[in-house]
Amino acid sequence: MTLGMSDSNFRKPVRKAVFPVAGLGTRFLPATKAIPKELLPVVDRPLIQYAVDEAREAGIEEFVFVTGRGKTAIVEHFDTAYELEATMNGRGKSLDPLEPTRIEPGNLVTVRQQVPMGLGHAVWCARAVVGNEPFAIFLPDELMYGSPGCMAQMMEAYNEVGGNLVSVLEVPKEEVSSYGVIAPGESKGALTEVKGLVEKPKVEEAPSNKIVSGRYILQPEIMGLLASQGKGAGGEIQLTDSMAKLIGEQPFHAVTFNGRRFDCGSKVGFVEATLAIALDREDMGAEVREMAKKMLG
């Protein structure tokens, strides 16, 4: 491990998280015409709620949403719903289901990404709020399911090595060309040194089968790199291009997530997540299993 570089400079606590939620969700039309995709429910929780719950579990205190036009409902979801709560109280109903939707006043910040110019650009839009601190990034489309959560697993690793971290999952080699892939160095348990990052490599050129999966802890220097970076693949400002420049300059590791990832950016992945989580729930798992058996029978 590159422990020599892990000085105290790269070990400040991670208190802030950036959630890029400016996308149009066109794959899910017409459902997303008036409702942000991040609010579509997986069983009974909006997609964004799973990411926020995971962030909270990992000790995140400040939530930065990079939004676009028509996305104000996401902010509403984490606000107090006075009429709803008063009515439920009046009827003697428990407010427990609303508990996870409350973010302390002042701890939710939104910034606008006016033009959809890619993930790197979305992260750069949060620069004023992030300031000179390390921060986490959550891509809510990727529902990371496990206990402890993905970011909690990453925080544990961060406390050990500091610097920059990405979450990775191992996939069959033939699937790597759809993802960002790491070039691995030394490994120790779930931790792997990152020697390089390749975006959507050809199968035969892929440096490993470890794909980057929607969770990051990055040092603030990434913002300066994003600011001066030209457009990359697809005419967008790619986060991977700037992250690659930090390799060798700062500690950089990957954490293999012990859990499951559901790609809720695709319809099939969304259905898979809904079914898997429903089957896993104590309050409904047995019924859903019986129902599925009947349908498949």
The closest of 260, 278, 262, 259 to 270, measured between CA atoms, is 262
Q: Where are the domains of the chain?
A: 13-265
Which single residue is written with the structure tokens 């892929």? Answer: 206
Asked if residue 213 lies in contact with residue 167, where contact means CB atoms within 8 angstroms, the answer is yes
Mean pLDDT of 226-246: 81
Give the chain's mean pLDDT: 92
Higher pLDDT, 151 or 114: 151
Residue 15 pLDDT more than 80? yes
| pLDDT digits 0-9 by tens, 68-113 | 988 899 999 999 999 999 999 999 999 999 999 999 888 999 999 9
Percent above pLDDT 90 for the chain: 78
pLDDT class of 114 with cuts at 50, 70, 90: confident
For 264-271, what is the mean pLDDT?
A: 96
Which of these, 242, 236, 226, lies nearest to 117 by C-alpha position? 236
d(CA 246, CA 162): 13
Pick the CATH number of 13-265 from 3.90.550.10, 3.30.930.10, 1.20.1560.10, 3.40.50.300: 3.90.550.10
Q: What is the pLDDT of residues 19-44, one digit of tens each?
A: 999 988 899 999 999 999 999 999 99
What token pair was written down for 231? 């457009």
